[in-house]
Structure 1
Amino acid sequence: MLQTWRRQWILTTGTYRLAVAQRRNRCALVGTSSATLTAPQARNVSDFRVGVLGLGAIGTIFFIRSGRLAAVSETKKELPILSVDALIKVEQFDTWVKKKKKTATMQLIHDGQETETLEFQGLTTADKVATACNASNVRVRALGGSTGEPHDGHKLDVLLVTVKAHDSVGAIRSLRERHRHVLKDDALCVLLQNGLGEVPTVENGERIDNRWQFGSGVTFVGGRVLEFAKVKTSGLEAGKTYVAPLHRHGAETGLSGLEDTMTMPREHDDVKMQMLVDVLVAAGIHCKVLGSNEMQAMLWHKLIINAAINPLASLLNAPNRSVASSESSRRCVHLVVQEALAVAHCEQILLNRSQNELVDDVLEVARTTGSNVCSMLADLRRGSSRTEIDAMTGRIVAGGKRHGIPTPTNELLLLLVKALEEEREVRQSR
């Protein structure tokens, strides 16, 4: 099946462009982007259903890109059948459609102000499902909005989990307990979020699920939420995304509580992961499957970059460029990286980057995304009493304590951001 799928999506020279000029009906795919899609030669594979859990910056980017591809696949007989669903909370769905009358939109705005748009209809249905105009295979669904179980053919093969790192455990547990019917019994769940991840595999001494398989992911695509369903992206064309199956040995992956409970990836899960990658590549997102050791290094690489930028930029209450703009902030970056690298070495993570190279990586990211407001600062500015500091800096501090490695700079940053969280919590309680 995989060879047929890949032949259809990848091994071809034809291309499709998603643009307004090609689709005169406004209630369809709309946009000025020139995203290029790979055109296959036959259509003889079964329906492949992808879900995106959470529509923050990354979730919205991946949903819009893959949704636009799926919309084309429905109208072009030579393309494989692809369906894409976004899963959000009921209150998010209601807020999104409240201001709309007949249609609602999702927008992806690029640095050059080019815009990719999906429009949705059916906003007042009792089951709270919005369907893309002229594309019944692209939907936004409110979890808990529908009481009936979908037909087996409508259940998801793969789920991209793009909620905040601290929400992933609760989100997956909720799927298992109240919305199990949304996913196939052998579904693949890929965690695509900041930090090193955490999978709720054990509850009351039993596994959360014996059949769902989990994968990890990391993306260097950047985005900023302007409002729900409207995201400004940076680095989409150059930013890369990596995915890998989760294996045993939680200590090696940085994932807690997995040592004796994770099942080894099954062959058809590897097939699903490669199919997901092929879809993302066809949708214009650079994506690649990595081996376990490569993914560990990639996750830690991004963790160190995030831990050096997010807390400091948040405390400075300034865009990312502030991290590289002064000698004092650069010195702070150096100390964060030094401590984090020492912990990574004790975790037996092979980064293949020196301390100075990692510092350079941090400063380069801070400069190239200079106008971006990092997700942590965005959360604080919205008045949120919880950020992803535990999934970033908290992981480094915890690892340091576990291995007897001093991490004073990271510990101070952790405490300061925690103080900001607590101050906002006090405000909310008044």
Structure 2
Amino acid sequence: VALLDKNAERAEFIAREGIRLKDSAGERVIRVPCEADPSKVSPPDALCLCVKSFDTEAAMCRALPLLGPRTTVVSLQNGLGNAETAARFSGGRPVLCAATSHGSTAESAGVIRHAGAGPTVVAPHTGASPQHAESFAKLLLRAGFDAQTAPDATALLWSKLAINAAINPVTALAGVPNGAVPEREDLRRTAASAAVETESVARAMGIGLLYADIVSAVENVCRMTAQNISSMLQDVRRRRRTEIEAINGAVVAHGRRLGVPVPVNEDLLRRVLDISAASL
């Protein structure tokens, strides 16, 4: 395993000091190679994209020297459109999508708090077969993760989108960790409405979600990651650009195109964009 970071100073720090991981078991330092120069990293079996949706193209361009003849590209990201962007730069290499329920908070450079565990689901996307997905899932299993595969990347992405559309903007606007959402009736109601609207848009596109009850799924994720600070709330607090346009913005765009009402997603999109504009 090696990390590629666009920030040379941070890459040097992590390479020197390691990653300090905090969780329920305590605190430990994990040593891992980290480089800012892709020419110093060997071509991997799997290139995992763990960047913001709006950084996908830049990350793929930066990682092009790493793509070997047997490299599989894995989009482990929020929102829609990332796998398609990755495929444009993959040179025909297989692209997988993965969605995880793990929650983590970046406290500072190289310091991560793991705030909740859950399954990671892998599905084949552009040019990938079920065997590619199975191979990557087995890699995660050997590393100690709860990993499984799904046959349909579109259903996986929209299922993850429904969870993100419900939790991320609600926690970002309220300034609370994930666990507060099912405990506060106002937040629970808003999150549930956002998830149901997303499911309605998916259904209008002929996409069935992986969850029988999307509202229960949202609340389960909140409880499994109760102490986690969502990535969108972290971005708002640090006055950084959020992924709201790739999450709720995607729901709104598809809803308008299909004539499916999504008023709660529209409101969440507007409000997060407003606070982001005020802080940038």
TM-score by length of 1: 0.60
Aligned position for 1:60: none
Aligned length: 279
Q: Tell me, what secondary structure is at the counterpart of 2:2?
A: strand
Aligned position for 2:89: 208
8 Å contact kept, 2:178–2:225: yes
TM-superposed deviation, 1:343:
0.2
8 Å contact kept, 2:12–2:34: no
Distance 1:337 1:225 in 2: 26
**The one of 64, 69, 76 aligned to 1:192:** 76
TM-superposed deviation, 1:400:
0.1
**The one of 281, 288, 292 aligned to 2:141:** 281
Aligned position for 1:164: 52
**The one of 360, 363, 376 aligned to 2:219:** 363
Q: Residue type matched to 2:37 in 1?
A: L
- Do the aligned partners of residues 210 and 372 (structure 1) sit closer, same or farther apart at CA in structure 2, a change above 3 Å counting? closer
TM-superposed deviation, 1:95:
6.3
TM-score by length of 2: 0.89
Which is helix-richer, 1 or 2? 2
8 Å contact kept, 1:316–1:322: no
Q: Tell me, what secondary structure is at the counterpart of 2:80?
A: coil
**The one of 260, 265, 283 aligned to 2:128:** 265
TM-superposed deviation, 1:377:
0.5
Bigger Rg, which one: 1
The Cα RMSD (Å) is: 2.4
Aligned position for 1:406: 261
Q: For 1:343-394, what per-residue CA distance to the aligned partner results, in whole angstroms no more than 9, with x for missing partners?
A: 010121112645xx3222222322332322111001111121x111112111
Unaligned runs of 5+ in 1: 1-83, 120-131, 133-138, 248-263, 426-430
Distance 2:191 2:105 in 1: 23
Unaligned runs of 5+ in 2: none
**The one of 104, 107, 112 aligned to 2:17:** 104
Distance 1:402 1:330 in 2: 27
Aligned position for 1:256: none
Q: Residue type matched to 1:343 in 2?
A: V
**The one of 232, 239, 242 aligned to 1:376:** 232
**The one of 10, 16, 34 aligned to 1:93:** 10
TM-superposed deviation, 1:168:
1.1
**The one of 297, 301, 320 aligned to 2:178:** 320
Does residue 394 of structure 1 match 2:245? no
> Percent of counterpart pairs with the same letter?
31
- Do the aligned partners of residues 211 and 363 (structure 1) sit closer, same or farther apart at CA in structure 2, a change above 3 Å counting? closer
Distance 1:379 1:85 in 2: 25
Q: For 1:244-301, what per-residue CA distance to the aligned partner results, in whole angstroms no more than 9, with x for missing partners?
A: 2214xxxxxxxxxxxxxxxx336xxx55543332221111011123212xx3333222
- Do the aligned partners of residues 182 and 201 (structure 1) sit closer, same or farther apart at CA in structure 2, a change above 3 Å counting? closer
**The one of 21, 29, 51 aligned to 1:117:** 29
8 Å contact kept, 1:192–1:218: yes
Which is strand-richer, 1 or 2? 1
Distance 2:72 2:65 in 1: 14
TM-superposed deviation, 1:337:
2.3
Aligned position for 1:143: 37
Q: Tell me, what secondary structure is at the counterpart of 1:89?
A: coil
Q: Tell me, what secondary structure is at the counterpart of 1:168?
A: helix
Distance 2:77 2:243 in 1: 10
- Do the aligned partners of residues 278 and 353 (structure 1) sit closer, same or farther apart at CA in structure 2, a change above 3 Å counting? closer
Q: Residue type matched to 1:184 in 2?
A: G
8 Å contact kept, 1:173–1:200: no
TM-superposed deviation, 1:314:
0.9
- Do the aligned partners of residues 370 and 157 (structure 1) sit closer, same or farther apart at CA in structure 2, a change above 3 Å counting? closer
Q: Residue type matched to 2:10 in 1?
A: F
TM-superposed deviation, 1:411:
0.4
Q: Tell me, what secondary structure is at the counterpart of 1:184?
A: coil
8 Å contact kept, 1:187–1:211: no
Q: Residue type matched to 1:421 in 2?
A: S
Does residue 419 of structure 1 match 2:274? yes
Does residue 174 of structure 1 match 2:62? yes
**The one of 192, 195, 198 aligned to 1:334:** 192
Q: Tell me, what secondary structure is at the counterpart of 1:409?
A: helix
Distance 1:304 1:272 in 2: 25
Where does 1:68-79 land on structure 2 (aligned, <5 Å)?
none
Aligned position for 2:99: 218
8 Å contact kept, 1:186–1:211: no
Distance 1:208 1:193 in 2: 17
